Structure 1
Amino acid sequence: MLKPSEAGFRRLIPLLRPHRRLLAIGTLCMLVFVSSQLVLMRLMGRLLPDVGSGDLQRILPVIGLVLLVFAIQKLAQFGQDSLLAGPALQVSQSLRRDLFQRLQKVQLGALEKMSSGDLTYRLTEDADRVSEVIYKTLHDSIPSALQLVAVLGYMLWLDWKLTLAILLLAPFVAWLISLFGARVMVATERSQKKVSELAGLLGEAIEGLPLVRAFAAEPWLERRFEDEIDQHRQARYNTYRLVALQHPVVGIIEVLGFATVLVLAAIRISSGDLAVPELISYLTGLVLLIDPIAHVTANYNEFQQGQSSLRRLREIEKEPSEPADPVPSLPLGRLRGDLNFHEVEFAYTPGQPVLQNFNLSIKAGQVVALVGPSGAGKTTLFSLLLRFNRVNKGQLLFDDKDLSQVSARDLRQQVALVPQRSSVFSGTIAEAIRFGRQATQEQLHQAAKLANAHDFIIRLPDGYNTRLQERGTNVSGGQLQRIAIARAVLGNPAVMLLDEATSALDAEAEAAVQLGLKQAMLGRTVIVIAHRLATVQEADLIVVLEHGRISQQGSHDALMSQGGRYRELCERQFIRVNE
């Protein structure tokens, strides 16, 4: 017995509803195509006996009629295939679009655990496979199933005794198809997993090729790649072997059925129960059954593979989303930049707190540096300020407005992030700075000037229209970082978050970026994650974090005079007390 889909193909039906008109016309063409098979069976029963008589006056009109019906059938087939292709591709596009939108809302913690190669494969190859299954179902599987029903019905009308012999084999054939299909689905899932792993390794290999060469690790990477492609080959081979085995097994059963019909037909003709024209029509129908059976068998295998792909796509929907906006949201207005953490507690995993009883007040326009060992909670504070996560307990206030009551989009338009390693999308420098926002040329130039980027940009061959290559590899690290600063200040944010924005730069590039930062920070509240403490000595407030709590806070001079953890960290970096 055929197993129902567990992947949720029925959930895709609403995506087909906007295309009802095309589907209706395509279905009409499908019915014409199937009906023409029955007419051809009837005409062949009249034509072949007359061919033996040599009477052209009787043969030629029938041949003309056969050609006309055949032409109508092929035109209907063209209409069916071409009209139904559009809705199938639209479903794939809608599915891919919906999943990409969903991906953008997945919690960053969950997203970081996913392989970029695997995600790329799911949104490309898996989505295309689902589209192919929908298309083949519409233009091939359904017509083939209808053809089977129509031809078998006509054969029952011609001779129900002969047809009964064929129908006795049908459950066995259906069981075989289901058995093979289930195994093909399992083998396909393994194959797709191996392809995803291979795509992930390729991404890592391309990204880390300079590091591989630096360590002379090419043989290790080649062995690992060879192992991955061998596993992928074996998984694909197992799928192909199952499909290859199914065709001869089903084919043998078809031949046995055909032979049984011939024997029974000979017996019935000899007894006078069956006429030759009826036998020819019947045998024509029998031949017409072979093609749709083959199509249904092959398409069922592809359906199982598509079911595996759809399941992998649906797994993205199960990933946790970032917190939804409250309804209604509190109007944020233009922020001054006052921040207040009041008894904040937060944990990524229940029972393992990252922040505990955290209290901190930041005044508008202050520059605050967060220092402390890895895992102290510095990055977590940034994720809370950007509303990537919400506090479990306590309040986080912007200008006395609770962040849990405002929309994330309104908040992020006034809080800008400059990450440690800036990433840009391929495109022009102007597009990289705008980053999907509307801005005049003057606003663009002003942002670049604040970031100390304007001068080097206008010296490039195409200025602001210079195209950035993937990952910005055609500009230096310092230039890329200044583009990121310009991107941050373009929206005139009230708060800037700097994640050690100069740690990966040389001294000359760092000086240029520091100048850009100094200009960009004027008049804004700035929070800096700092590991190199020499860069934050001029901060208005330095906050030392340990185990999710504030152990010290104050200016550089005050903290150095106090002693304690901050002074210890400074002395490790050869920063001494000013005499």
Structure 2
Amino acid sequence: MKSTLNNLMMENVDYKHRNESSLKRLLKLTIPHMRRIIIAAICVLLINVSLIIKPYILKLVIDDFLIKHIPSKGLYSIVNMGILYLLVSISGNFFAYTQENLINKVGQDILRNLRGHVFKTIELLPLSYLDKNSSGRLITRATNDVEAISDMYTDVILNLFQDVFLLIGIMYAMFMLNFKLALISLSVLPIMSIILFLLKKKIKTNFLNMKTLIGKINGFMAESISGMKLIQLFRAELEKKKEFENLNDHYFKSTLLQVRLNSILKPGTQLFENLTIALILFYGVNKIGNHTLEIGVLYAFTTYIKQFFDPISDLADQYTTIQSALVSADRIFELLDQNKTLEDLDSGLSLDKIEGNIEFKNVWFAYNNTDWILKDLSFKVAKGETVAFVGETGAGKSTIISLINGFYKVQKGEILIDGININDIKLKVLRKNIAVVLQDVFLFSGTIKSNITLNDEIEDQKINEAVEMSSFNNFISNCENGIDEPVMERGNTLSAGEKQLISFARALAHDPSVFVFDEATANIDTQTEKLIQKAIDNISKGRTTLVIAHRLSTIRNANKIIVMKNGKIVEEGNHSELIKSGSYYSYLIKQNS
């Protein structure tokens, strides 16, 4: 758990160095909705007017009609005062209803756009960023953190505006009624401000810890659910439970501290409210006895004090919401500020079609800029060639595939596609023309068809051809719903071979210029391997095909086999040439047989 606590400390340092106020950025998001906000603000002002007028109406009734017994004159009567009070109350409630609906619409619009922006940013994050950040952390940004900001927009911003103007209006009314009594009423505010200032730093720091921990819990849960089969197979339930309880206990302690901090604010506000009422009653009763203060004024003051401390109590509640929202905003904007690292899919040359000529020229690459995975790698693949890469685990074979797809940039040397530096080609064009079939197939919840098309607009004829060429048509014909057969999350109800064939059909349907098979036959049975091998032989004609394989029997017909060891090419040639030479490839064949 030391690493967890260290991470929390590091994140605390990071957030202290935010340049632009998150609150300002949140407020900037309201600019497109300013018309609704202005209408809502006008409603708030009218609500405040109604709240301030009502105690004054009661003051007039008490002093003029109940104490002084002033006779009614025209509209100035106790009945009309009652009607006026009722109309003011109804108007205030109507404006409250209007502003509530307006501000909630604005808040939800902003959050919908913000959530969409977060997801779009996550989609464009490079693999180098995703390698260093857990999925739980990113999930928390898009869910928990956005929800925390939701509370700020819908519950705080306009209420804060309402409360501030209500406080100003009440103070103005109190000073107009009795200057000395108003000063006594406000005498407790400096002490309250000092207490709030002392709590501020502790509350914000603890909120950051809470949100970091909930991100770790989300990541742990997602990882555990994905790997539940493995956990059960190795009877690791107890160990995983202990890990979860450790995280959960830290989160519990953090939330308990937050509850304690929050519990200080509201009761503290109520204590100061009661103290203030006691002070003005102590002062006012003596003045009433001396006939220097009217009873109606004292009653109005006690009402104003309650109205005055209600928004302060709300502000105390909202303060924790604001701190939570600001911490969440820091975390969201930290993600959205990855502009320099985001992939730009539309930058570069737009080619109609990639022919499929590939060249690595003296390529050096390391994931961490120090430990070289590829070392001075050079090779050429001509259009339409089938080239296989073989070697022991860690030789750098799969890294080549990641580089060809533009997931990482090389530190030295260059990669050429049809004689053009890969960095100068639009990523959108590059990936449209390169289809990859991975060893670990990922399937989305949906149908077989949606997993083949990935919701691209592909003609049914082309889909059917892809299914047939991938030898998956027999399986589909046995499905009740055919190609629209439901697929569960990650394709959990399908076998490894069936998932691999769907992946194969997916690659075919997108009609690429270059096919890449990364250990595509590693996890399937011999019969399915034969089906896939036949399909590979069929579709590789006229297309550049790169194959990475552990089963060396699948690459005998390749035009060229590149043998790698420790990030370097140790030999290359076709199967017959390499076998005759009796070199490292021959050794691998013997190990594989």
SS in 2 for 1:104: helix
The range that moved more, 27-36 or 515-524, is 515-524
Q: CA deviation at 1:323?
A: 4.9
Aligned to 1:208: 227
Change (3 A) 1:530 1:350: same
Query: In structure 2, how many angstroms separate the alpha carbons of the residues matched to 1:442 and 1:325?
Result: 29
Distance 2:236 2:294 in 1: 79
**Partner SS for 1:397:** strand
Kept in 1: contact 2:522–2:551 (CA 8 A): yes
Q: Give me the identity figure in percent.
A: 27
2:341 is equivalent to residue 321 of structure 1: yes
1:447 touches 1:490 (CA, 8 Å); kept in 2? Answer: yes
Match of residue 497 from structure 1:
516
Q: Which residue of 2 aligns with 1:421?
A: 440
Q: Whole-Å Cα distance in 2 between the matches of residues 338 and 456 of structure 1?
A: 35
- For 1:453, the aligned partner's letter is F
C-alpha separation in 2, matches of 1:253 and 1:524: 80
Q: CA deviation at 1:534?
A: 2.5
Please state if 1:515 is matched with 2:515.
Answer: no
Q: Quick one: structure 1 residues 568 and 46, their matched pair in 2 at CA, closer, same or farther if it must change by over 3 Å?
A: same
- TM-superposed CA distance for 1:519, in Å, is 3.0
After superposition, the Cα gap between the structure-2 partners of 1:54 and 1:519, relative to the gap in structure 1 and judged at 3 Å, is farther
| Counterpart for residue 124 of structure 1 | 143
CA distance in 2, matches of 1:193, 1:185: 12
Query: 1:572 offset after TM fit, Å?
Result: 1.8
* Residues 339-360 of structure 1, C-alpha deviations (whole Å, 9 max, x = no match): 1112223333334333232211
Note closer, same or farther for the CA distance 1:306–1:323 as it changes in structure 2 (3 Å cut). Answer: closer
Pair 1:563-2:582 in alignment: yes
Q: Of 18, 26, 38, which residue of structure 2 is paired with 1:24?
A: 38
Offset at residue 7 of structure 1 (A):
5.4
User: Offset of 1:565 from its aligned partner?
Assistant: 2.5
Residue of 455, 465, 468 corresponding to 1:449: 468
**C-alpha distance in structure 1 between counterparts of 2:585 and 2:194, whole Å:** 73
Q: CA separation in 1, counterparts of 2:382 and 2:161?
A: 68
* Per-residue Cα deviation, 1:42-68 (whole angstroms, up to 9, x for no partner): 101112344578999743221111111
In 2, Cα distance between equivalents of 1:435 and 1:542: 32
Aligned to 2:525: 506
Q: What corresponds to 2:213 in structure 1? A: 194
Q: What is the TM-score of this pair, normalised by structure 1?
A: 0.93
Q: Provide the residue aligned with 2:393 in structure 1.
A: 374
| Structure-1 separation of matches of 2:512 and 2:430 | 10
User: In the alignment, what sits opposite 2:55?
Assistant: 41
CA distance in 1, matches of 2:402, 2:316: 52
8 A Cα contact 1:342 1:396, kept in partner: yes
Instruction: Provide the C-alpha distance between the structure 2 equivalents of 1:458 and 1:370, rounded to a whole number of angstroms.
Output: 35
For each residue in 1:217-267, what CA deviation from the matched residue of structure 2 results, as whole angstroms up to 9, or x when unmatched? 222233333333333222221111111122222322222222222222233
Which ranges in structure 1 are unaligned for 5 or more consecutive residues?
575-579
Q: Partners in 2 of 1:308 and 1:510 — Cα distance?
A: 52
1:310 alignment partner, one of 325, 329, 333: 329
Matches within 5 A, 1:142-541: 142-317=161-336, 319=338, 321-324=341-344, 329-541=348-560
**Where do 4+ consecutive residues of structure 1 move more than 6 Å?**
3-6, 52-57
Residue of 91, 104, 127 corresponding to 1:85:
104
3-state SS in 1 of match to 2:413: strand
Task: Report the TM-score, using the length of structure 2 for normalisation.
Answer: 0.91
Give the Cα–Cα distance (whole angstroms) in 2 for the partners of residues 119 and 331 of structure 1. 32
Letter in 2 for 1:424: L
Aligned to 1:577: none
CA distance in 2 between counterparts of 1:460 and 1:82 reads 49
Match of 2:11 in 1: none
d(CA) in 2 for partners of 1:5 and 1:348? 29
SS across alignment from 1:336: coil
Aligned AA (2:247) = E
Map of 1:74 onto structure 2: 93
Letter paired with 1:216: R
Q: Determine the C-alpha separation between the residues in 2 that align with 1:565 and 1:467.
A: 46
The whole-number CA distance in structure 2 between the counterparts of 1:56 and 1:353 is: 98
Q: Distance in 1 between matches of 2:536 and 2:131?
A: 28
Structure 2 CA distance for aligned equivalents of residues 56 and 448 of structure 1: 95
**Match of residue 139 from structure 1:** 158
The answer for unaligned runs of 5 or more in structure 2 is 1-15
Whether the aligned pair in 2 keeps the contact of 1:182 and 1:304 (CA below 8 Å) is: no
- Report the residue type matching 1:120 in the other structure: I
Q: Which residue of 1 aligns with 2:114?
A: 95
Deviation at 1:325, TM superposition (A): 5.7
The letter of the residue matching 1:36 is: S
Alpha-carbon spacing, 1:192–1:322, altered in 2? closer, same or farther (3 Å): closer
Tell which deviates more after alignment, 138-147 or 167-176. Answer: 167-176
Provide Cα deviations, 1:119-178, integer angstroms capped at 9, x if missing partner. 222211110111111222233121111111111111112112122223332232123223
